[in-house]
Amino acid sequence: MGVFDRDFTNNQNLSYRSKQVTPTPANGVIEMATLFTHLTTEIIDKQTRRREFELQRSRRLHWVRFHIDERKPGNMMVFTVKEPEGFRTYIYDKDEKYVVVLEPLRDGNSYYLLSAYYVMGKDAQRDKFAKKYRRKLDVVL
């Protein structure tokens, strides 16, 4: 929680490429508790949207801000893809197999921070983000 407070709660001037980044609202309300939950848990039942604590996400919580601030010099894939849910901008660290997912907003000047997680299991084996990258838009939204 200390890392989360340092990077998000007490430092709400978060931006990515000059566009403000805000937590995803739940029921129209932007709450830091909702963002904390998205960054430290994973959905284990898609139908009920039930989430459980995920150790790998929590251990890497300090990576979210690091990647949004683009402090890693190389071996990154940054791209926007049209998904069934809408546009998604991915910041994918190929070395660490870590992704930050942003949703560009219609105003063109801001993002919602949807999630960030360590890619493991089937997604890592199938190279999920290389496949998404092939469908990327010509510009990062």
Let me know if residue 139 belongs to a domain.
no
Q: What pLDDT sits at residue 27? A: 57
Let me know if residue 105 belongs to a domain.
yes
Beta strands in 3-109 (DSSP E): 15-16, 19-23, 41-45, 50-53, 76-83, 86-93, 98-104
pTM assigned to the model: 0.80
Q: What pLDDT sits at residue 47? A: 84
Q: What pLDDT sits at residue 80? A: 93
In whole angstroms, what is the distance from residue 110 CA to residue 105 CA? 6
Domain count, the chain: 1
Q: One digit per residue, pLDDT tens: the chain, 141 residues?
A: 777 777 777 766 788 888 888 776 655 555 777 778 778 888 888 888 888 888 888 888 788 888 988 888 888 989 999 988 889 999 999 888 889 999 988 887 888 888 888 888 776 666 788 888 888 888 888
Let me know if residue 29 belongs to a domain.
yes
Let me know if residue 76 belongs to a domain.
yes
DSSP, collapsed to helix, strand or coil, labels residue 14 as coil
Q: What pLDDT sits at residue 90? A: 94
The residue segments making up the domain with residue 102 are 2-134
Q: What pLDDT sits at residue 124? A: 63
Q: What pLDDT sits at residue 112? A: 86
DSSP, collapsed to helix, strand or coil, labels residue 121 as coil
Let me know if residue 141 belongs to a domain.
no
Let me know if residue 140 belongs to a domain.
no
DSSP, collapsed to helix, strand or coil, labels residue 88 as strand
Q: What pLDDT sits at residue 116? A: 87
Let me know if residue 69 belongs to a domain.
yes
Let me know if residue 68 belongs to a domain.
yes
